[in-house]
Amino acid sequence: MTIGTISLGNVNGQKPSTPMFTVDVEFAGDDAYATGGTPDFTESVRDAIEAARKLLDDSNVRGRTNVEIICVAGYDAGQYVPYFDRENDLLFVRDGGSATWAEAADEADLSGTTFKLTLLCR
């Protein structure tokens, strides 16, 4: 799935030595989901993460180049459920309309779906 324009939503964070913060993002699905997941998901949402860090105005967060996405929680994507493979930096989409919650079919048209996700980052 090609991830286009990312909209930034709520941003929350804390200021310990290893700060954790959440970023709500939103983007439209595309018309040709590729099984095997969307590669380089972190890079796809990097601008939104950078904007969130600036909003937090926290010297422990801003300017860091090694931001890591810990997990992704989808809270509104219709019958589809995003799943983040942190080790391989892939975003998968599972089809909640299937009996087995299998990965969305290859070339599935997700263009009518808006994905709303919360990213937990550090």
For 55-100, the pLDDT digits (tens) are 666 555 555 556 788 888 888 777 888 999 999 999 999 988 888 8
Provide φ and ψ at 54, rounded to 5°.
Answer: -65, -35
Residues 6 or more apart from 19 whose CB is under 8 A from it?
Answer: 13, 56, 58, 60, 61, 122
Residue 64: the pLDDT is: 53
User: Are 115 and 80 in contact, with CB atoms under 8 Å apart?
Assistant: yes
Burial of 117 (0-12, 13-18, 19+ CB in 10 A): buried
Q: What is the mean pLDDT of the chain?
A: 79
State the pTM of this model. Answer: 0.75
**Domain-wise residue ranges, the chain:** 7-121
Residue 92: the pLDDT is: 93
How far apart are alpha carbons 122 and 108 in whole angstroms?
32
